[in-house]
Amino acid sequence: MIDKLYKTILASNGNNPDDISIEFSPGAEHVSLQTDLWTLSAFKENEIKFNPTHIIDEIEKYQLELYNDLDNNKSTTARPIYFENTYNILTSIGLTQSAKRDTGEVATTNTHNSIGTGSTTPTEADIGLATEDTGGSYARRSYASNGQRKVVSQTAKYGMLWQDSTVSAVPISITESGVHWASTGASTIHARVTFTVFSMTSGDLFVTQINELHQNG
């Protein structure tokens, strides 16, 4: 886990967590690179507490503490029950929406986080999650009121805390997540990711953490 944790900390600090190899060709003197590292983590709520509206700040602080524990063979903080890194797909409709924001043609922002149970491989053609959660207490969660989003240097950061009370029901096998510019509806997804199943049960906390780095190459 320490390697995954180190990669997350690098991305949180605005660094590209992986080596990049680019082959030169005429006309490619300027390359735009975008690295979208997601970190999915889960905990027992009786072992750790987070403030949802400061989830980015608090999860990054926790990760530094955990890394120090693992690197020094200590046990001063809670251990996650799930920890995974993966990269998302930026959808074609999401890229179009982002371009229109730059030209002032739309006034949207990336406002909501979703979770689901689908495992279909993400593609640029996606217009939503494969199987978004539905029913019960589930609704896409707002970064403005239930999570946190901010830009640090060239890294856009999105964070959300999910609990057993904010999904349709537990147990639930969570395998995908998305960033949207609307609280409901299809064709509003900026990014989608799938990951190894996390089986949420009563008393679990699940954190989605995105570091979207924009840089020149």
- Contact of 36 with 90, CB cutoff 8 Å: yes
Determine the distance from the C-alpha atom of residue 87 to the mean position of all C-alpha atoms in its chain, rounded to a whole number. Answer: 9
Q: How confident is the model at residue 17 (pLDDT cuts 50, 70, 90)?
A: low
CA distance 211 to 85: 11
Q: Considering only CA atoms, which of 177, 165, 173 is closest in space to residue 136? A: 165
Q: Is the pLDDT of residue 18 over 80?
A: no
Q: Is the pLDDT of residue 19 over 50?
A: no
pTM over 0.85: yes
Q: Which two tokens stand for residue 172?
A: 């639930």
Q: What ranges do the domains of the chain cover? A: 2-15+34-216
pLDDT 10s digits, 190-205: 999 999 999 999 999 9
pLDDT 10s digits, 54-63: 999 999 999 9
Average pLDDT taken over every residue of the chain: 88
SS (H, E, C) the chain: CHHHHHHHHHHHCCCCCCCCCCCCCCCCCCCEEEEEEEEEEEEECCCCCCCHHHHHHHHHHHHHHHHHHHHCCCCCCCCCCEEEEEECEECHHHHHHHHHHHCCCCCCCCCEEEEECCCCCCCCCCCCCCCECCCCCCCCEEHHHHEEEEEECCEEEEEEEEEHHHCCCCCEEEEEEEEECCCCCCCCEEEEEEEEEEEECCCEEEEEEEEEEEEEC
- Contact of 132 with 182, CB cutoff 8 Å: no
Cα of first residue to Cα of last residue in the chain, in angstroms, is 29
